[in-house]
Structure 1
């Protein structure tokens, strides 16, 4: 048995709100995520990830959690196996000196269902149904479950599964050439499997905001309830019922008024801040998403 060259690295999926839209940070000169090897001077994997992100983009990370380890063969091409230990980071504002913020929904336009379902129903669904005809019944069911077709509900946290279905169907640019179709669905490509890694981060964050208050890591120190709701909707890609959302936030005592007001073009809105004491009071606190508003 011949041995294959193996390299290891840490890799970062850094998310921020840019003009109200969730974005991921890529390198300034390439469509790929910040990454680098663990060096002797790095005392931990987290130290390594923070160091490489700051060196490559100038960004200092706040919130950071381990995401997943990717070790599939030939992820980058050239016959080499690269093991990537990925981390999900959340930051406020645009503090990166370099790098490029790429919109989630430029990478995964089918994931944004806040206003228009045309792409899903007129482009993605017909292509998937065409692909499903070439497989067994389980393939058709998989498409229906992951994309909310044939009367099934849409689950925001299945973002990774949806990307993987499109990959297997040959409908994204990263699909292998031997089965890649000509009618690719829209979506910006990243190098290697980095778009799949971002999809993993999207799915993790969408799931996490339902039981932990990590959404506040993306918010400024003071915000209106409208801004908070808009942030949650942008992350989930769905519209939520305003009264249900505010009731949940109040019941969980996640925020408190600062006494300030924000001009909104009409009646000034009250400003709030996140009650960080809630993390000690209730480990399970979160911003649970109400049922999406039907359209």
Structure 2
């Protein structure tokens, strides 16, 4: 993931012959690949031209049938595809060399996750009515839908539950991939709740976004999405772009300074088009420490 025009973007790859894009991926060959990570770096660079910095293992995806309708990657026709997902962060969505590679904002895949300008219309117009029909008179289903999508109470929204929300949409048939994987025509409403990806790559993306949102609260990972020097407004926008929620400006700034995560550089950013803003950097004393300090997130309700 990396910043792109004020948003957080994900690098996707549209392989020749595939009707849908996916995440950069490739097979692991134990005869030539010494580690999963080295294999990952090799095929990502070959597909996109991107040389990755720090990467973190995300999750192992191995559910039966999860590869549908992905072409077999060197396995037998009846083989089972197991994927090891990684999360990589970059401060800039650098230009890629692969013609098939494209940076896309995560909001294109999960439009209901972006509350920065208020409650997303797609929740009330599409998701709410769809889930109401699905729940019927089932109190447990209704409680699950209410809790995940904050249908009645805005304050009940938990930004880190990205995967659970996507899996509910898949289970109820509203996610495009659900009908595709069953060999059925997707409902017209499916496109409104996010662009599909091949195989189960949107599930993998949801896992990564949810993990990143959760980590903000206990590790300063947001600095991996920022340049070496930044204004507090840039820092706030980066946090909002990841969480999909607006922050209370003054409370956010007080929280950042109180946590001791940043330090002043003594320089001003004069490229803002208005009053010059003070530049900060990540405090050097914490850069090499065990990263246990997170950000307070004063969400503006």
TM-score (normalizing by structure 1):
0.88
Paired position in structure 2 for 1:25? 11
Cα distance, 1:283 vs structure 2: 3.5
Q: Does 1:186 align with 2:193?
A: yes
- 3-state SS, counterpart of residue 67 of structure 1: strand
Aligned runs of 1:92-131 on 2, under 5 Å? Answer: 92-95=91-94, 96-98=96-98, 99-117=101-119, 118-131=121-134
C-alpha distance after superposition, 1:236-260 (max 9, x if no partner): 0000111111111101111111122
Structure 2 distance, partners of 1:21, 1:108, is: 13
Counterpart check, 1:50 vs 2:50: no
CA–CA distance in structure 1, aligned partners of residues 110 and 194 of structure 2: 6
**CA shift at 1:28, angstroms?**
4.7
- 2:202 matched residue in structure 1: 195
Question: Do 2:220 and 2:291's aligned partners in 1 also have CA atoms closer than 8 Å?
Answer: no
**Residue from 281, 285, 293 that aligns with 2:293:** 285
SS of structure 2 residue aligned to 1:69: strand
Q: State the match for 1:165 in structure 2.
A: 168
SS in 1 for 2:56: strand
Partner of 2:28: 38
Q: How does 1:1-295 map to 2 (within 5 A)?
A: 15-29=1-15, 31-39=21-29, 40-77=31-68, 79-95=78-94, 96-98=96-98, 99-117=101-119, 118-133=121-136, 136-151=138-153, 153-176=156-179, 177=182, 181-184=187-190, 185-263=192-270, 264-281=272-289, 283-290=291-298, 292-294=299-301
Q: Secondary structure at the match of 1:248?
A: helix
Kindly state the Cα deviation for residue 56 of structure 1 after the two structures are TM-superposed.
1.1
Structure 2 runs not aligned, ≥5 long: 70-77
SS class of match (1:245): helix
Answer yes or no: is the 8 Å Cα contact 1:113–1:237 preserved in 2.
yes
For 1:77 and 1:113, locate their aligned partners in 2 and report how far apart those are by CA, in whole Å.
32
Question: Displacement of 1:265 after TM fit?
Answer: 2.1
Measured after TM superposition, the shift of residue 186 of structure 1 is: 3.0
Give, in whole Å, the separation in 1 of the partners of 2:139 and 2:149.
16
Separation in structure 1 between the aligned mates of residue 290 and residue 81 of structure 2, nearest angstrom: 39
- Distance verdict in 2 for CA 1:223–1:23, change over 3 Å: same
- 2 CA distance for matches of 1:62 and 1:86? 16
Query: 1:22 Cα shift?
Result: 0.8
Q: SS of the residue aligned with 1:100? A: strand
| TM-score normalised by L of structure 2 | 0.87
Q: Is the 8 A contact 1:206 1:235 kept in 2?
A: yes
- Alpha-carbon spacing, 1:111–1:260, altered in 2? closer, same or farther (3 Å): same
Quote how far apart the aligned CAs of 1:55 are: 1.2
Higher-strand-fraction structure: 1
Kept in 1: contact 2:113–2:162 (CA 8 A): yes
After TM superposition, the runs of 4+ consecutive aligned structure 1 residues lying more than 6 A away are none
Consecutive unaligned residues of structure 1, counting only runs of 5 or more, are 1-14
